[in-house]
Each structure stands twice: as structure tokens, then as C-alpha cells.
Amino acid sequence: MTGGSGRQAGRGRTSARRASAIPETTWRRLVAAARRARARAYAPYSRFQVGAALLTDDGTVFVGANVENSSFGLTICAERAAVVSAVANGYRRFRALALVAGRGEPASPCGACRQVLHEFAPDLPIRLVSADGRTRDVRLGELLPLGFGHRDLKRG
């Protein structure tokens, strides 16, 4: 198990293993929600089901699952589905994301999802979990360093 409550930031740990201040009980709740969402994924073409659970600043959790389409390019990823749902419900402050996908090495968010998450939480703590229970903790800042943001637009 990686991450966990009670860990202090920095001091000899790599950033991936740095404490995210998210208690382990909260991570477990998030991962369980992402697993349930994954079971509802609509992925008849790739057969690759993904579930995401996004924790907001007041503790509300929004989930997303990938929704594919026979016009393949219209597929919506689980992470973006979760973000859109949260924003549509009035939330823009996010504390953590759990992602559950296929077996083996845990899958990581695609580039498009990284950019969409960056809009709201550039250093979001993320727990990647595989269907067979492998776990890896990362932060969005590691996955997307120097992401494009609203500040860049001011320099046009």
C-alpha cells in the first residue's frame, strides 16, 4: 500500500510517495467509488473499462466511467466524465482523484485528461489502481509538468 495518513510531506521521499494529506480511509472510499463506476463503464469496443472518483473540497465525491461510441473519436474518458459532472454540480475545487482500470501495471490518465484536470487542480494527488489491486500514487504535477493554464492566456 502506498500513500496513507500520518505521512509528512517531503524529507527524503520522492514526490510520488510524498504525503498527500489525504487519509487512507478517504483513499479507500474513493477507490471503492471508482471501482463501482468502472463496473458501469460503456466500453464495448475497447473492452477497457475505466472508473474515476473525484474528491471535492467539501468531501463530496463525483464519479465517472468511460463511455465509448461507435464513432470512436467521440469516446469520453472516465476522468473527464467525473470532472464534467463535478463542475456541472457547482464544484471546482478538487482534493484527490482515484482511477481504477485494467490489470497489471496501473493505467495513468491520458494526455487530454491530464490537461483537463490541470485546469482545476494542477498538482492533484492521484491514486492509480489496477483491477487486480496494484496501486501507485502520483501527483498531476508529475504527470503534466508545465501544463498549459489560464495564466498563459494572459501572455497572448
Give the binding site for ligand THU (CB under 6 A): 43, 46, 48, 50, 66, 68, 75, 77-79, 109-110, 113
Cα separation, 104 vs 135, whole angstroms: 10
Q: What single DSSP character describes residue 6? A: T
Cα separation, 50 vs 130, whole angstroms: 10
Q: Which is nearer to ligand THU, 50 or 54 (CB)?
A: 50
CB of 121 to ligand THU, least distance (A): 16
Q: Which is nearer to ligand THU, 109 or 125 (CB)?
A: 109
Q: Which is the catalytic residue, given 79, 105, 119, 142?
A: 79
Active-site residue 68, yes or no?
no
CB of 107 to ligand THU, least distance (A): 6
Q: Which is nearer to ligand THU, 19 or 85 (CB)?
A: 85
DSSP per-residue codes, 82-122:
HHHHHHHTT---EEEEEEEESSSSPP---HHHHHHHHHH-T
Catalytic residues: 79
